[in-house]
Chain A
Amino acid sequence: MARLAISRLAQALLLLLLVSIATFCLLRLAPGDPGALLYGPNASARDLAQVREGWGLDAPLYIQYFQWLSHAASGDLGRSYVDGRPVLSVIEERVPATLELALSALLIAAASGMFLGVLSARTHSTWLDQPIRLLTTAIYSTPPFWLGILLILLFSVHLRWLPPGGSQNPAGSGGLGDLLSHLALPVLVLAARDAARFARLTRASVLAVASQDYVRTASAKGLSRTAIEIRHIFRNALSPVFAVAGTSIPGLLSGAVIVETVFSWPGMGRLVIESALQRNYPVIMGEVLIVAAMAMGGSLLADLACAAADPRIRHPSRG
């Protein structure tokens, strides 16, 4: 177990290093002078040179990278080109909103997806098969931003039940009810695709387990259908589904970019769009790095949790 954890951690760190090199090179090779962005098009050459020197932009690329890396290791990701604040604190204040959104979506997607998957496995090869297949394919094929706009049209503009965006009432936080009413639509949009994915996986997994010999033995023993389903099928069929929960994390964080834009949710996704439009490279760079770290940390935790629960993963050599 410890060995698995260490090797996975080492892998994650290596990946993170690769990501940091790639993004650093990309962003530093970018056209457009940050000094020109700061001082406007009429900046003098002296101002520009001063900015470049002040921010260390005149050193060779690899030196800049190592400087940046040593700073990053101590938590200093540079300063925002826009307002000069430390990048880490600019990003930090956006993290909770995104986590709130992504974790709620993961929870809702897993619960509803497994429920629907079990339901569709129980009704397999009946007339319900095609409608369910059509529905999951439709969810897969719906552009999330479109779904978001439609929901805003329906629930906010037309019915006036839910706020069209933001994370709290302008008058100040109205407690849990206020939070939930703001969360409902964004979470629904973010969770939809993963719910369909979980439903498909669960259905396939339940059907595969249901055709195993030990299930036939159990029914030959005279166990009731419910007892077989709960004790023999679901327990074995749902653990691989839990195992893929970790693989949802990158997709959820990516999806957050769109959902946060549609619903003006003050999270990391909207920050990266704002920064991209402003060419605020240090913030974009920091975001990419932090989001990568979050995704890798999340899948690492999920993997370890699965290894702890399933001896077959913990000891692969024993088959």
Chain B
Amino acid sequence: MLNSGRLMRRLGQTMRRGKSATLTGSSSARHRSGSGLRPLLDPLTIASVAILLVLGTAALLAPLLVPGDPSRIDLSRVALPPSREHFLGTDLMGRDLLRMALYGARISLTVGTTAAGIAALMGLVLGLAAAYRGGWVDAAVCRLVDASIAMPAFFLLIAIQSILGPSVANVILMVSLVGWMLVARVVRAFTLSLKEREFVLAARSLGCTGERIVFRHILPNLLDQVAVLYALGVADALLMESALSFLGLGVPPTEPSWGNMLSDAQAGILSGAWWMVVFPGGLILLTAMAINLIGDGLQAFFRREA
């Protein structure tokens, strides 16, 4: 009895140890078993990826799907409601809204992905430099982040944009100027903790140069965080672009973009032309939402993996 009791206890201990080993063990083991991918297999995330794929493909193939010049004015077809000929209707200048929406998607998606990319890169470089160099670099970056976050960004952007004038490149610049702070903050915090981890200390004691430690040991461990922030940043950038364009300070009014379509639609509200308002705005909402949900999914995935 006594013996078996001890046996049981020891068995229990090993089982517990075994269990704890899988809880804190290597993430790749769970990764392979498939359960780690669950957050990405969530139906909302899958639907979001599908929506973005369809939209992206349609935007890429716009010249094939809806041939013709998106800004061609046709005054014989002004403000037509949706029909078989014009799926989304036409606007006050007789332009086909579906064609404009698909060509607009090209500009809006380009601005969103590029601006968020520049912002992520800026944040990554500044955050890494601040955390790794420390000292006055850190102090300067932190103050800059604080100042940029405390500032109601729109006022400054409008001031700058009124000088630069509307162009797609300027919109990308403006939007990335607002998006880098969060990335810098997160990258800085993560780098500070990574810097003290054993593998970095080991690399340093082996005589690795600073660059090698940053690029080979710290940077790869930051990329999942940056990927999440990038995804959320694309959604924000998309909304920002449409807002600037709506105010007449974004993409030049002659080019199709979702914000410009809504800006034009304002004139159609009182005549009851709901389609000019509902479709472009709905597209922005749908796209931003899909990107946000993918960002959430990525975040849950990486959190489980870590």
Instruction: Mark A residues whose CB is within 8 Å of B.
Output: 11-12, 14-15, 18-19, 22-23, 26-27, 29-31, 130, 133-134, 137-138, 140-146, 149-150, 152-153, 157, 247, 249-251, 253-255, 257-258, 261, 269, 272-273, 275-277, 279, 284-285, 287-288, 291-292, 295-296, 299
Say yes or no: B262 contacts A145, CB within 8 Å: yes
Say yes or no: B285 contacts A142, CB within 8 Å: yes
User: What is the CA–CA distance of A142 and B161 in the complex, to the nearest angstrom?
Assistant: 23
Of chain A, the residue at the smallest CB distance from B293 is: A137
Known A19-B151, A250-B151, A277-B162; 17 more pairs at CB < 8 Å: A15-B143, A133-B296, A137-B289, A138-B285, A141-B235, A141-B292, A142-B285, A146-B277, A150-B277, A152-B269, A157-B272, A253-B154, A272-B155, A279-B162, A284-B162, A287-B155, A295-B151
CB < 8 Å A-B pair total: 143
Q: Which of B139-174 contact A (CB under 8 A)?
A: 143, 146-147, 149-156, 158-163
User: What is the CA–CA distance of A141 and B290 in the complex, to the nearest angstrom?
Assistant: 9
Given the contacts A149-B266, A276-B158, A254 and B289 also touching, CB distance less than 8 Å: no
For residue A138, give the distance in angstroms from its CB to the closest CB of chain B. 6
Which residues of A sit under 8 angstroms from B246, Cβ to Cβ?
Answer: 143, 145, 258
Which residues of A sit under 8 angstroms from B155, Cβ to Cβ?
Answer: 253-254, 257, 272, 287-288, 291-292
Q: Is B44 an interface residue (CB 8 A)?
A: yes
Which residues of A sit under 8 angstroms from B293, Cβ to Cβ?
Answer: 137
User: What is the CA–CA distance of A284 and B155 in the complex, to the nearest angstrom?
Assistant: 8
Say yes or no: A250 contacts B152, CB within 8 Å: yes
From A140, A145, A285, A295, give the contact of B150 (CB < 8 A).
Answer: A295
Interface of B, helix, strand, loop or mixed by DSSP: helix
Of chain B, the residue at the smallest CB distance from A140 is: B292
Say yes or no: B150 contacts A141, CB within 8 Å: no
Of chain A, the residue at the smallest CB distance from B263 is: A145
Instruction: Convert B213-250 into 0s and 1s, putting 1 for each residue whose CB lies closer than 8 angstroms to a CB of A.
Output: 00000000000000000000001000100110011110
Given the contacts A15-B147, A19-B147, A257-B247, A149 and B152 also touching, CB distance less than 8 Å: no
Say yes or no: B262 contacts A141, CB within 8 Å: no
Q: Is B115 an interface residue (CB 8 A)?
A: no
Q: List 12 A-B contacts (CB under 8 A).
A: A15-B147, A22-B156, A26-B159, A141-B239, A142-B288, A149-B266, A253-B154, A273-B158, A273-B247, A275-B162, A284-B158, A299-B150
User: What is the CA–CA distance of A143 and B236 in the complex, to the nearest angstrom?
Assistant: 10
User: What is the CA–CA distance of A209 and B55 in the complex, to the nearest angstrom?
Assistant: 41
User: What is the CA–CA distance of A247 and B262 in the complex, to the nearest angstrom?
Assistant: 30
Given the contacts A26-B160, A273-B158, A134 and B44 also touching, CB distance less than 8 Å: yes
Which residues of B sit under 8 angstroms from A291, Cβ to Cβ?
Answer: 152, 155
Instruction: Mark B residues whose CB is within 8 Å of A.
Output: 44, 143, 146-147, 149-156, 158-163, 235, 239, 242-243, 246-249, 259, 262, 265-266, 269-270, 272, 274, 277-278, 281, 284-285, 288-289, 291-293, 296
Given the contacts A18-B147, A134-B44, A143 and B162 also touching, CB distance less than 8 Å: no
For residue B224, give the distance in angstroms from its CB to the closest CB of chain A. 20
Which residues of A sit under 8 angstroms from B149, Cβ to Cβ?
Answer: 247, 250
For residue A273, give the distance in angstroms from its CB to the closest CB of chain B. 6
From A143, A250, A276, give the contact of B242 (CB < 8 A).
Answer: A143
Say yes or no: B239 contacts A143, CB within 8 Å: yes
- Complex A-B, nearest 10 residue pairs according to Cβ-Cβ distance, in ascending order: A146-B281, A276-B162, A141-B288, A254-B154, A253-B152, A30-B163, A141-B289, A250-B152, A254-B152, A15-B147
Say yes or no: B150 contacts A250, CB within 8 Å: yes
Given the contacts A137-B293, A144-B243, A145-B243, A257 and B154 also touching, CB distance less than 8 Å: yes
User: What is the CA–CA distance of A279 and B161 in the complex, to the nearest angstrom?
Assistant: 11
